[in-house]
Amino acid sequence: MVKLYGLGLSFPVNRVRMCLNAMGLEYEFVVINPLAGETQTEEYLKMNPSGKIPAIDDDGFYLFESNAIMKYLCRKHNSDFYPTDIVEQAHVDKWLDFIGAHLNNGLAKVFFNKIVAGLIDVEADEKSMQEGYVFIKRFMTVIEKQLGATPYLAGDKMTIADIALLATVDPFEVVDINLSDYPNVATWASKLMKESFYRKVHGSYKETLDAMMAG
């Protein structure tokens, strides 16, 4: 059985959780907190030498980076969430790269300074946070246009590109980004958040954050 190492606040970790759920695979979710230094142990660094999350242990095969993990799982289990057709696959790869290079980078700036800085008692960098908001607004307009043209990000079927995007917009409400500013994305997200693959992760991202803050 696959062991997935991570924390519920991590959007890359939640990508993999949603992917595993959508594929109907059994797995063990091992909670490991990088904010507490738990990813710096010798044992964990064998799985992910960067000391970041997520990482998986698939019966002794270690893999890190959320997109690589999702592609591996889909290939291993012949899942249509990562198509084998070269053109369809290219469209999925394109959006995975777009989300990772643009949206995730912007969100990371905002999320760290809005949420994480307070958790680890460091001063927020307002300039970096505002840069993140500008990045998100700029590149969300591209996503908004795409989801006005196709029901899913890469076409007519849900793929791991949608899972990656869903995990990325999931924390928007806790960093004061109004998803209703992007009505096509909001409609798409509302539909997917009702699905069991999402509900098995949490009812909402805010629910997970509130639980961590309380505990």
The CATH number of whichever domain residue 180 belongs to comes to: 1.20.1050.10
Its pTM stands at 0.96
189 and 169 both lie in a single domain: yes
Q: What average pLDDT does the segment 207-214 reach?
A: 89
Question: In this structure, is residue 212 part of a structural domain?
Answer: no
pLDDT(29) > 90? yes
Same domain for 61 and 30? yes
pLDDT of residue 77: 98
Among 50, 76, 102, identify where a domain stops.
Answer: 76
127 and 37 together in one domain: no
Q: Catalytic positions, please?
A: 10
The answer to whether residue 34 sits within a structural domain is yes
Taking the C-alpha atoms of residue 196 and residue 194, their distance in angstroms, rounded to an integer, is: 7
What pLDDT, in 10s, does the model give residues 119-129? 788 899 999 99
User: Does residue 126 contact residue 113 with C-beta atoms inside 8 Å?
Assistant: yes
**Does residue 171 sit in the same domain as residue 127?**
yes
Residues 169 and 70 in one domain: no
Is pLDDT at 215 greater than 80 in this prediction?
Answer: no
Chain segment 32-50, per-residue pLDDT in tens: 999 889 999 999 999 999 9
Residue 98: pLDDT above 90?
Answer: yes
Residue-wise DSSP of 61-129? EEEESHHHHHHHHHHHTT-TTS--SHHHHHHHHHHHHHIIIIIHHHHHHHHIIIIIHHHTT----HHHH
- 41: number of Cβ within 10 Å: 11
Confidence of residue 118 (pLDDT cuts 50, 70, 90): confident
- What's the pLDDT score for residue 108? 93
CATH number for the domain spanning 20: value is: 3.40.30.10
Q: Are residues 129 and 60 in the same domain?
A: no
Residue 171 counted as domain residue? yes
Q: Domain of 127? A: 86-196
* Structural domain includes residue 71: yes
Number of domains in the chain: 2
